[in-house]
Structure 1
């Protein structure tokens, strides 16, 4: 744990130096790539610092600075975003597909996990959303990375309030088709995306992966690495563990997910060690809208790195194709897919 920050920061500084040298020599593609990688490594260096120290604030500033430099040189439009939120703001980056020359685009609101951040949501090259003609609003929602530094923390109400402000912002943009707004979330972002969608009917479709859907989050906070609980206490503005233990019981999809009427996709690992599969299956069983559950045999929390994912539908590609189809107006069939180790997909109906 003590090595994480310094190791990633050293790598970030090396990439930042390469970016400056390349830009000075007029090698703008090389500079662009290194600015991006420097930003991602500065963000990774933040993980162990659950505080408002000069070091942590400085790493966040360097992450933003390097990403802004990447944005100057990117092969597509990238815009810094600050969305008004209950007297404060939600930070983000808005990406338009390469070659965009006008017209109304579909878009996804991309929500990272607990140990990721908005800068990492769009790939340096061949991004799965932009390559499909889908714009991206990548945010640090309540409690995520930069947001606590702006006084915006995790709570059920804050995530319920996030959908309307993001959709209002998107519908004000001339580039965006208000009828084709999707939401995607990974890991802890799967829970956030679910709550957000449940309270924003203008969302056309939602897709999540690597689930954190256990009501109360007992497994991840009491049976997994203590770094998760340590980080989440900072994300939700708690220093007293006993009070946090009471608070975290309020975090649940129960009474919320049932409200989702638009297409919903969830990709989960059969052997998820942070959120046992039964909780995801329980939520899916209570939902009544069009929905699809895809379970990968033997996969743990990070869906992939197993034969089922390598030989069957690749998880992130499946997710992107599914979302593109929904935003194109194609209907969703309610099914449960079990991707076997051979890659074969066993399909069954969802009631």
Structure 2
């Protein structure tokens, strides 16, 4: 699905921002007029123009808040969050503008979330020698423990974005409590503490489930775990080792990160595995000079995984595989996949499902549904309906 740009990276990120229109996180006109001002493959104008839109919409929010128009302020703050987050996206990890842009995105979201009919609660989940940040959302009419959805993101996620991507408004309307949080390699833990990714996410989700179990709004016997994007690896990995997960959603699947990276060119990948580090690094550098997609993927991967080179990254990615682990999952599992997913090949969904021994439902979204892209960002309404209809049944007991 092409929105505006010929380049895959810019176009998908534009679609991603536009998708949040479904739940109040963007407006189509604001997204498209911003995209029209951005130069082809020009990451500097990408940052400047998305920031320009974000600041304008943030101004609308502040004006409405000062006038006591709380609903208007809430909507504008939510949209400003999305636009600041998008402005940050292609900045290098060491760019001095990255942290302030991220913080403005986070603060805009919090200004909106505190204006919800049932204001979100900021949480801090004890984890090793620090705390993991997140948000608890509870229906306005909640009375006692509720079936609960725990949402976690992936490779480039922030917890605030999960409000839209995991369709929290739809979850609340159906009576769920929702806990969304960030772990190592994501959001604030990565940006503020330098916590990089780890493959054994059962040690990250476990503390979140401990925390959730003590909340009066959470029915700890009915917890559904939803992993978005690379969270489609993190969540199944956690469910394989923690029987407190009553239902699992891989949204999308991410069975094997290294296999996904080599899927389209397996012969080249085999050759790269045999090549000396100096060759691997040189080829990766060359690829980054000619391809925005390759450059962003390599640089963001080095930041997220805490590695210094393409060669080191090549040795790290195979650690993130569910092969030999997926068979341990014993709760009902929903696997979502997109026909046109350019990050996770559809064929890997079949490999993941083949390893599962639990009750499993697979939903492949097609091009004609407008939901064939990664995480179904072309049709989040359809994806969220499928997900929550399934959770309604899986957590009904």
Which category of TM-score, normalised to the shorter sequence, fits these structures?
A: 0.7 to 0.9
Relative to the length of structure 2, the TM-score reads 0.75
Could you tell me how far 1:147 is from its partner in structure 2?
A: 2.2
Distance in structure 2 (CA, Å) of the matches to 1:127 and 1:74 = 10
Name the structure 1 match of 2:172: 130
Q: Distance in 2 between matches of 1:154 and 1:52?
A: 18
Larger RCO of the pair (alpha carbons < 8 Å, separation 6+): 2
Look up the match of 1:139. 181
Report which stretch shifted further, 216-225 or 74-83: 216-225
Q: Is residue 203 from structure 1 mapped to residue 272 from structure 2 by the alignment?
A: no
Structure 1 portions without partners, runs of 5+: 330-351
Q: Which of 349, 364, 381 is the aligned partner of 1:295? A: 364
1:216-264 per-residue CA deviation (whole Å, 9 max, x = no partner) reads 2443798793122321221111122211110111110112211100000
Deviating more after overlay: 79-88 vs 221-230: 221-230
Q: Confirm whether residue 265 of structure 1 aligns to residue 307 of structure 2.
A: no
- How far apart are the structure 2 equivalents of 1:143 and 1:239? 15
Name the CA distance, whole Å, in 2 between partners of 1:222 and 1:145: 29
Which of the pair is proportionally richer in helix? 2
* Structure-1 residue corresponding to 2:158: 117
In structure 2, relative to structure 1, the CA distance for the partners of 1:18 and 1:263 (3 Å cut) is same
2:147 to 101, 106, 109: 106
TM superposition shift of 1:123: 3.9
CA RMSD of aligned residues (A): 2.5
Query: Within 1, Cα distance between the matches of 2:178 and 2:48?
Result: 31
Q: Distance in 1 between matches of 2:263 and 2:97?
A: 26
Go from structure 1 to structure 2 and tell me whether the alpha carbon gap of 1:222 and 1:244 turns closer, same or farther (over 3 Å shift).
farther
Instruction: State the shift of 1:303 in Å.
Output: 5.4
Q: How many residues align?
A: 323
Alignment of 1:1-351 (within 5 A): 1-100=43-142, 102-123=143-164, 127-149=169-191, 150-157=193-200, 159-219=201-261, 225-226=293-294, 227-298=296-367, 300-302=372-374, 304=376, 314-329=382-397
Distance 1:304 1:246 in 2: 30
Matches of 2:351 and 2:234 in 1, distance apart?
A: 17
CA distance, structure 1, for counterparts of residue 342 and residue 87 of structure 2: 25
For structure 2, list consecutive stretches of 5 or more residues without a partner in the other structure. Answer: 1-42, 266-290
CA distance in 2, matches of 1:72, 1:192: 29
Q: SS of the residue aligned with 1:289?
A: coil
- Using a 3 Å threshold, how does the CA distance of structure 1 residues 5 and 213 change in structure 2: closer, same or farther? farther
**1:112 to partner: Cα distance:** 2.3
> For 1:322-347, what per-residue CA distance to the aligned partner results, in whole angstroms no more than 9, with x for missing partners?
01221112xxxxxxxxxxxxxxxxxx
TM-score normalised over the length of structure 1: 0.84
